Structure 1
Amino acid sequence: MAALSTPLSHNGFSRSFFSTRRSKIVYPFPHSLPRITCSATRDGAEPRENLSPCKHISTVACGLLAVWALTNTSPVIAANQRLPPLSTEPDRCERAFVGNTIGQANGVYDKPIDLRFCDYTNEKNQLKGKSLAAALMSDAKFDGADLSEVVMSKAYAVGASFKGVDFSNAVLDRVNFGKANLQGALFKNTVLSGSTFDDAQLEDAVFEDTIIGYIDLQKLCVNPTISPEGRAELGCR
């Protein structure tokens, strides 16, 4: 089987992928990468042990590595953190129609996008192509909405409902879809890198030409609600 590496540039998201005829699989970094260890703490406390490699790396370099580690926290770790209180702004649900105008890939934002418990059922016009990076979307309703071409990097969508949602050409990077209802959702040419679907409902979901990492694919294929057609599109074994 031939592998073709092609760059993907969409809504500010750019990286190289290995392509297959069905789902596009992004392979992880090779296991032979050099190991770099640095000691750091969040609250300023002294580390338990002083790791010698950091002595040979400048303070600036170690700081940059620490920032990279924090900004690339997986959605599984984020799920264990305490969520902020529900926003009391009266127009917080309308924030989705504006989206996030600053960061995309790492979920940087100028103001939190709190969409929890908002109802966007059958919204066909105002959400398409928006950037919802780092949005809080748990228990929100998007049933029948058009979310094609959206960027949802590091969004938290636990328990949300996306029945029949069109995610075509969307970037769903490191999104936590735990316990979400995604019945009949359309993932056509959709990036699913680093996203998790623990206990999510995926009956009749369509995975056509999806772009997904090999390890992420293995985790997704464990979900028993995926139809035989969906498993075939993903290449589940």
Structure 2
Amino acid sequence: MLSRIINKTPWLSSSSTYVPLRVTCSSSASKRVPKSEESSSPLRTVACGLLAVCTVATASPVIAANQRLPPLSTEPNRCERAFIGNTICQANGVYNKPLDLRFCDYTNEKSNLKGKSVAAALMSDAKFDGADMSEAVMSKAYAVGASFKVNFGKANLQGAIFKNTVLSGSTFDNAQLEDAVFEDTIIGYIDLQKLFTNTSIRAEGRVELGCR
């Protein structure tokens, strides 16, 4: 049973009297409500709904600022799964079992990653230096601490997280970078100037990159 007490202070004049309003939420449908409280039933319903939402949001690890990642996959040849791409797809880039590419080494991979879908993949601390990821789909990927010196031409990187990522030597010609996160990214000056020309980067991303 969920029970909360909310004190509601309406906008009152200086001569008005403050009346605390108690809101009780119960999962029991059989509990009788006193007649004195029937008039506040709609307000109580709204308040209970808000309390329930707050409770769920607070408890959900997905919504938390510091996202909890699952343990490292023990699946054999898990790094080679990137060559196939993510096929267990649901709506909005959510996957039943995301690709776990953490700590994988794809250095100088010129063909197997091109045009592949690694959306929502876990890519922390992986190495992609010299790889060709043109036309790849990497939306909502989590690539904290990874190293990318790759060709991202025409790639879909919407919502990708490049926090603490090495991007020096990477190219982003015609890449989609809406909502991409570049916090504390390492990138060379010349590469950065080229990245500034990408019009899909939103205001927040430009601030993180130091665009002027």
Tell me the TM-score normalised to structure 2 length: 0.66
Equivalent pairs: percent with the same residue?
55
Partner SS for 2:201? strand
Counterpart Cα distance in 2 of 1:105 and 1:188: 27
Structure 2: how far apart are the matches of 1:101 and 1:197? 27
Q: 1:122 maps to which residue?
A: 108
| Mapped partners of 2:200, 2:138: distance in 1 | 15
Measured after TM superposition, the shift of residue 46 of structure 1 is 6.3
SS of 1:186's partner is coil
Cα gap change, 1:216 to 1:48, in 2 (>3 Å) = farther
Q: 2:46 aligns with which of 35, 50, 55?
A: 55
Change in 2 beyond 3 A, CA 1:55/1:45? closer
Structure 2 vs 1, CA of residues 55 and 110 (structure 1 numbering), >3 Å: closer, same or farther? same
Task: Determine whether 1:213 maps to 2:202.
Answer: yes
1:100 corresponds to: 86
| Post-superposition CA distance 1:163-210 (Å, at most 9, x none) | 2x0001111111111111111110111111111111110113232544
List per-residue Cα deviations over 1:195-235 (Å, max 9, x = no partner): 111111011323254411223222322xxxxxxxxxxxxxx
SS at match of 1:218: helix
> What is the one-letter code of the residue matched to 2:127?
K
Equivalent pair of 1:106/1:153 in contact (CA under 8 Å):
no
User: Larger C-alpha radius of gyration, 1 or 2?
Assistant: 2
Alignment of 1:39-188 (within 5 A): 55=46, 77=65, 80-103=66-89, 106-163=92-149, 165-188=150-173
Residues 134-143 or 206-215, more deviating = 206-215
Hey, what's the Cα distance between the residues in 1 that align with 2:44 and 2:157?
36
- Cα distance in 1 for partners of 2:123, 2:137 equals 13
Root mean square deviation, CA, Å:
3.3
Equivalent residue for 1:199, pick from 178, 184, 197? 184
Q: CA deviation at 1:103?
A: 3.6
Quote the residue 1:23 is aligned against: none
In 1, Cα distance between the equivalents of 2:119 and 2:152?
15
**How far is the alpha carbon of 1:104 from its aligned partner?**
7.8
What is the CA distance between 1:48 and its match in structure 2? 7.7
Contact 1:135-1:155 at 8 Å conserved across structures: yes
Q: Number of residues paired by the alignment?
A: 166
Segments of structure 1 that go 5 or more residues without pairing to the other structure are: 1-43, 222-235
- Mapped contact 1:196–1:220 kept (Cα < 8 A): no
Counterpart-to-counterpart distance in 1, 2:45 and 2:108: 53
- For 1:112 and 1:179, locate their aligned partners in 2 and report how far apart those are by CA, in whole Å: 21
State the structure with bigger RCO (CA 8 A, min sep 6), 1 or 2. 1
Q: 1:102 to 1:53 in 2, by over 3 A?
A: farther
Cα shift at 1:106: 2.9
Q: For structure 1, which segment, 186-195 or 96-105, has the greater mean C-alpha deviation from structure 2 after superposition?
A: 96-105
